[in-house]
Amino acid sequence: MNILVLGSGGREHALTWALAKSPKCSEIYIAPGNGGTDSLGTNIKSLNIEDGEAVLDFAQRNDVDLVVIGPEAPLVKGVADVLRAAGIAVFGPDEQGAQLEGSKTYSKEFMEANGIPTARYKSFTNRDEARAYCEELGAPLVVKADGLAAGKGVIIAETLDAALGAVDACFSGEFGSAGNTVVVEEMLTGPECSLLAFVTNGKAFCMAPAQDHKRAYDGDLGPNTGGMGVYSPVPIVTEEEMAEMVRIMEVAAAATAKDPFVNDYRGVLYGGFMLTPEGPKVLEFNARFGDPETQVILPRLKSDLVDVMMAVAEGRDGDISLDWADDWAVSVVLASEGYPGSYEKGKVILGVQDAEEFDEGKIIVFHAGTGLNSDGELITAGGRVLNVVGLGSTFDSARHRAYEAVKRINFEGKQFRTDIGKKAQEGRSAWN
């Protein structure tokens, strides 16, 4: 089979890596790809992945059998709809289904209509009304730009002044058209946890849970990022909490196949949960694989990913079976100096091969923001540069391997958290 993966980050490298392992994969293209995907297939840098007709043209000219859409923007732009209409198998929901991520108001209405536990909220198109609701609820609050804002449209406001400032920022155009509508909601408390599911025909096939670290610095301090580290499974999740999260994902999947939410949802549904004292509640739904969650989930998947994705794409829910390794996986993100603020690119990266080989088979380095310079050297090309994944039969051994591998990789300004997974080792009380 010929496969086309859309995207350029660590998630797409992990997807490409898992797909390329399948004996059914003959040729794999990645658009635009990065310095890591280059060794697994052919990077296509010139393709506009948000242009459905351009993606369709490439797929037809190259006899592509399956298109896997990594990031959210092409999904919200309806790329999957164009491909499906032309008879090409595509892994990713249609434009309407993608609104579960593309519009936070739509997502909240979806949860409310289907009895899915979530934070209290209201949605606003008027600045003064949004500010008044903030004053009514009181801090702490969460203020969200309704649309896609490159991961920057969610503001955790610990004080009322911060909440009012976030509302002003949204309506002043700081997040572009994404901030024309603003969602204000109560802040939930507890540990966060992600549970992803393959969804087709209204059926959910849940993956292994994962826990991300959003803050930039040790001790969960500093600004929010796209994720500085992650692990799977999640030792603090109780059996009761896991069962409830699975139930919620099954309810959500079933709802994608009934009025008024009828759509062609064939892909991943990402549930971002807060493990509150009242039980798991949904913080958000995403319409694609998480990043960096994918980088620890897929190394634990023993099933053939090509088989699973084709069954999802073709609506063959009876053919989906997921088999998971008992391994633990811990990933540490290496970022550019200054991230998530401004940073320089083009720093030469050394030691990746050494890191992977020092404990072969137990270390995987997924590339996120990397490229190759004119001399063929691996260089930094983004804020989050590499995802260093350690595998082990215990949480401690996986974490140790990840950090040992981190020591072997170097580039100017290398930045990373030293405490990924530390809270999980300490137990649930660490979040109190």
The CATH architecture of the domain made up of 2-94 is 3-Layer(aba) Sandwich (3.40)
Helical residues (DSSP H) of 348-411, grouped into ranges? 352-357, 395-407
Q: What is the pLDDT of residues 306-318, one digit of tens each?
A: 999 999 999 999 9
How far is Cα 268 from Cα 272, in angstroms, rounded to an integer?
A: 13
CA 363 to chain centre: 21
How far is Cα 206 from Cα 281, in angstroms, rounded to an integer?
A: 17
Residue 427 pLDDT: 85
Sign of CA dihedral 409, 413, 418, 420: negative
Residue 108 pLDDT: 93
For residue 321, pLDDT over 90 is answered with yes
Domain 192-319 has CATH 3.30.300.30: no
Percent of the chain with pLDDT over 90: 89
Helical residues (DSSP H) of 276-393, grouped into ranges? 294-297, 305-313, 352-357
For residue 300, pLDDT over 90 is answered with yes
Helix (H) or strand (E) holding 59: helix 52-61
Percent of the chain with pLDDT over 70: 100
Q: Which residues face 89 on adjacent strands?
A: 66
Residue 262 pLDDT: 80
Q: What is the pLDDT of residues 80-130, one digit of tens each?
A: 999 999 999 999 999 999 999 999 999 999 999 999 999 999 999 999 999
In sequence order, what are the residues at sequence separation of 6 or more whose Cβ sits closer than 8 angstroms to the Cβ of residue 174? Answer: none
How many CB atoms within 10 Å of residue 238?
Answer: 10
Sheet with 279-286, side-by-side order of all strands:
203-206, 192-200, 267-276, 279-286
For residue 430, pLDDT over 90 is answered with no
How far is Cα 368 from Cα 292, in angstroms, rounded to an integer?
A: 9
Residue 4 pLDDT: 98
What band does 253 get if pLDDT is binned at 50, 70 and 90?
A: very high
Residue 89 pLDDT: 98
How far is Cα 32 from Cα 19, in angstroms, rounded to an integer?
A: 17
Q: Is 307 exposed, middle or buried (0-12, 13-18, 19+ CB in 10 A)?
A: middle
The overall average pLDDT reported for the chain is 95
Residue 147 pLDDT: 85
CATH of domain 126-180: 3.30.1490.20
3-state helix, strand, coil in the chain (%, to 5): 35, 30, 40
Residue whose pair of structure tokens reads 């934070």 in the numeric block: 119
Choose among 389, 373, 404, 405: nearest CA to 10. Answer: 389
Q: Which residues face 132 on adjacent strands?
A: none
Nearest 5°: the CA angle 52, 54, 57 is 110
Choose among 226, 222, 242: nearest CA to 234. Answer: 242
How far is Cα 397 from Cα 327, in angstroms, rounded to an integer?
A: 10
Residue-wise burial string across 247-265, b where 16 or more C-beta atoms lie within 10 A, e elsewhere? ebbbebbbbbbeeebebbb
How far is Cα 286 from Cα 282, in angstroms, rounded to an integer?
A: 11
Residue 263 pLDDT: 80
Q: Are 231 and 329 in contact (CB under 8 A)?
A: yes
Q: Are 366 and 10 in contact (CB under 8 A)?
A: yes
What band does 223 get if pLDDT is binned at 50, 70 and 90?
A: confident
Q: What is the pLDDT of residues 120-158, one digit of tens each?
A: 999 999 999 999 999 998 999 999 998 887 767 888 899
For residue 418, pLDDT over 80 is answered with yes
- The pair of structure tokens assigned to 349 is 């990266």
The arithmetic mean of pLDDT across residues 342-362, rounded, is: 94
- Name the residue ranges covered by the structural domains of the chain: 2-94, 126-180, 192-319, 328-424
What is the β-pairing status of strands 192-200 and 203-206? antiparallel
How far is Cα 326 from Cα 26, in angstroms, rounded to an integer?
A: 29
For residue 429, pLDDT over 90 is answered with no
For residue 193, pLDDT over 90 is answered with yes
Give 216-219's long-range contacts (Cβ < 8 A, gap of 24+): 216/339, 216/340, 216/417, 217/417, 218/417, 218/418, 218/419, 219/419
CATH of domain 328-424: 3.90.600.10
Residue-wise burial string across 379-404, b where 16 or more C-beta atoms lie within 10 A, e elsewhere? bbbbbbbbbbbbbbeebebbbebbbb
For residue 324, pLDDT over 80 is answered with yes
Q: Is 268 exposed, middle or buried (0-12, 13-18, 19+ CB in 10 A)?
A: buried
- The pair of structure tokens assigned to 13 is 């490298």
Task: Tell me the pTM.
Answer: 0.94
